[in-house]
A = this chain, B = another copy of it.
Amino acid sequence: MNFSNIGQQSYPMCQDVSMRLAELSSRSGVSAPTIKHYLRVGVLPPGEQQSATWATYDESHLRRLALIRALVDVAGLPLEDVRRVLAAVDDERLTQHQALGSAQWALSPSVDTDPSSDSLARVDALLTRHGWQVHPDSPHRRALAAALDTVDRLDLPADDAVLDRYADALGALAPAEVDRIRGDADRTRAMEHVVVGTLLYEPVLTTLRRMAHEAASASRT
């Protein structure tokens, strides 16, 4: 995975300077043909048409490009999934909670085969124990059950005590994270935050865990 080729420059926010495609390309680090492709398939909104042959773009296009590159390069999503996620981001009819959920659901890997009923029951029991309201159709239920099936098969089952400790820790951190996202008055920014906060924080979290394991192993030696 390559975490780096995303928006090669940082850019000041809330500064509405319009620019041509060439500048959008140089500031974003995304090639002009790729930008044109994104415009064509509709993941990047059109610029402001100045004449039949040229349009101008603004900071929102730069931010959207950085988000698309993150979804493609970091999250490894195919462009069709990027489109699905951004459609939820952009759908004005959804309430913020619905849109947050749709974007997050769209980010979840689909589970091809049915997880075992044992694991599904364990997931439901966990949700009940922690008082978590998770929609019956949420893909996270199936994803978690499938992940439990995998570790079970490999003879290192996740016992409920371990799951509960993780759930306690993550449940304690979640409200502040969600409030931080919902606190953003700009709906598009808030939606972008869901994507960043869900997918792109996961490497932060999993790498921290690997470091914690390395440190714990070192301290035992």
Does the CB pair B205–A149 fall under 8 Å?
Answer: no
Q: Which of A121-179 contact B (CB under 8 A)?
A: 127, 130-135, 138, 140-141, 143-144, 146-156, 158, 162-163, 165-167, 169-179
> Binding site of A, secondary structure by majority: helix, strand, loop or mixed?
helix
Other than A134-B215, A140-B210, A162-B173, give 16 A-B pairs with Cβ distance below 8 A.
Answer: A4-B111, A4-B113, A4-B150, A108-B207, A108-B210, A127-B211, A132-B212, A133-B219, A135-B218, A147-B204, A150-B200, A166-B173, A171-B215, A174-B215, A177-B213, A178-B213
Does the CB pair A13–B155 fall under 8 Å?
Answer: yes
1/0 per position for A100-132, CB-CB distance to B under 8 A?
110010001101110100000000000100111
Minimal beta-carbon separation of A167 from chain B (angstroms): 6
Q: List, in ascending order, chain B residues with CB within 8 A of A1's CB.
A: 109, 111
Q: List, in ascending order, chain B residues with CB within 8 A of A210's CB.
A: 104, 108, 140, 143, 198
| Docked pose: A211 CA to B159 CA in angstroms | 18
| Docked pose: A158 CA to B200 CA in angstroms | 10
Which of A101, A170, A182 has the most CB atoms of chain B within a 10 A radius of its CB? A170
Give me 5 A-to-B residue pairs in the complex whose CB atoms sit less than 8 angstroms apart, sorted by A's number: A10-B153, A97-B221, A104-B210, A132-B212, A178-B216
Pick the 4 closest A-B CB pairs, nearest first.
A169-B169, A132-B215, A4-B113, A3-B146
Q: List, in ascending order, chain B residues with CB within 8 A of A148's CB.
A: 204
On whether A217 and B154 interact (CB within 8 A), knowing A166-B205, A174-B212, the answer reads no
On whether A158 and B201 interact (CB within 8 A), knowing A104-B213, A173-B166, A212-B167, the answer reads yes
When the two chains form the complex, which single residue of B171, B179, B189, B193 contacts A212, counting CB atoms closer than 8 Å? B171
